[in-house]
Amino acid sequence: MQRNDILDNFDFDQNQYFEENSGEVVAKFYSPMEADVAAARLRSEGIPCFLANATSQSVLPHLQILVRLHVRPQDAEQARILLAEAAIDSEEPGNRLQDNRILTVMAILIGLLMALLLVRAMWMT
């Protein structure tokens, strides 16, 4: 299966959507999989886009190359809005507050245990 959605050497002259050097970066990702999902989200809304450096990142993962998501300048605002909505939907603020409470209780218990061990060690000597 030929993949034409991930392009490191994008030929602007052959594309019906982009003119030469007209792509605007709307997001950067360390993970090619995240970049693919974001690109699919934009394409599902009818916004043409392409990824740059996706192949390089998968070939040289130890370099931590950023995968850039490009759209046409006229679509940049809408693309940023759609990507921001996706980021907001994935967060669960209620769980974050509960996680902080659990961590606080655990830190207090560990502190009390350490204080008890210190007092016991001092009492023994």
Model confidence, pTM? 0.55
Place of tokens 């300048």: 73
CA–CA gap between residue 42 and residue 65 (Å, rounded): 22
pLDDT score recorded for residue 66:
85
Tens digit of pLDDT per residue, the chain (125 long)? 445 554 444 454 455 555 555 678 999 988 888 889 999 999 999 999 988 887 776 677 777 788 889 999 999 999 999 998 877 655 555 556 666 888 889 999 999 999 999 999 998 87
pLDDT score recorded for residue 1:
42
The closest alpha carbon to 81, from 14, 31, 27, 24, belongs to: 27
Place of tokens 């950023």: 66
